[in-house]
Amino acid sequence: MARLRKQLPAQLGAGQLRCRGFKGPVDYEILGEPTTLRAGPARLRGSLITTPEVAECAFRDGDGELTLESGETYRITMLGHSAGSSIAYFEMRV
């Protein structure tokens, strides 16, 4: 019997991205509740929605900080981006 995985709620919002090549506004989608993150190995995944140039720049930089609408700041590590796409994928941690 296949084991079903619980679907995490999506958190949508507008925030501020800061990385070596860019500092400015982006939209984001996070799978899970960021306030439940604690120091340690736990991570949440999400995506940035912005211009293709900013998405590529953030991915190329590899990591940065994302400040959510709530004002909380999280470290992010970029996971993926397709050339010409306006979406970049990341993992976030405390």
One digit per residue, the tens of pLDDT, for the chain of length 94 reads: 567 777 778 999 999 999 998 999 999 999 988 888 787 777 899 999 999 999 999 999 999 999 999 999 999 999 999 999 999 999 998 7
CA distance 15 to 7: 24
The answer to whether residues 44 and 59 touch, using CB atoms and an 8 Å cutoff, is no
| Model pLDDT, residue 31 | 92
**Per-residue confidence (pLDDT) for residue 39, from 0 to 100:** 79
Question: Distance between CA atoms of 26 and 40, rounded to whole angstroms?
Answer: 26
In the chain, domain spans: 10-93
CATH number 2.40.128 given to 10-93:
no
Q: How high is the pLDDT of residue 1?
A: 59
